[in-house]
Amino acid sequence: MITHTAIGPKYRIQFKVIDQTGVDVPVSIRQDRPTFCVYVLDASHHKSTSYSVAGKQVYYGDDPDAAYDTAKQYVPGLHSKLPKSFSEYLIRWAKDQPN
């Protein structure tokens, strides 16, 4: 699982990728595509507040573009705030997908 938190002027988001693909994942839980989750939390909450408890899940699905677009609505300039490893994962995963 990959998780990244970005802070905007009004909201904080948590962008999460749950990757249960590949041969190293047990067949009983293996999926064809990773799952992308976006949680939103008001920036006024304390920084230790749990996203899964107090946050609002605004995206849950297997489309990385839709998840990214949803996250950008809450944190302007999100691309510049993503860590290099997170961006590289998204690019690598997109390249491995058939057209």
- Give 31-70 pLDDT, tens digit per residue: 888 899 999 999 888 888 888 888 899 999 988 888 888 9
Per-residue confidence (pLDDT) for residue 81, from 0 to 100: 66
Residue count of the chain, please give it: 99
Whether 99 has a pLDDT exceeding 60, the answer reads no
Treating both helix axes as pointing N-terminal to C-terminal, what angle do 64-74 and 84-96 enclose, rounded to 10 degrees? 150
Most confident of 30-34, 54-58, 73-77, 89-93: 54-58
What integer is the mean pLDDT of 20-39? Answer: 88
Alpha-carbon distance values, 82 to 21, 61, 72 (Å):
22, 19, 11
In the chain the first and final C-alpha atoms are separated, in Å, by 25
Per-residue confidence (pLDDT) for residue 2, from 0 to 100: 82
Strand pairing class (2-7; 56-61)? unpaired
**Mean of pLDDT over the chain:** 84
Contact 64, 94 (CB under 8 A): yes
Per-residue confidence (pLDDT) for residue 98, from 0 to 100: 61
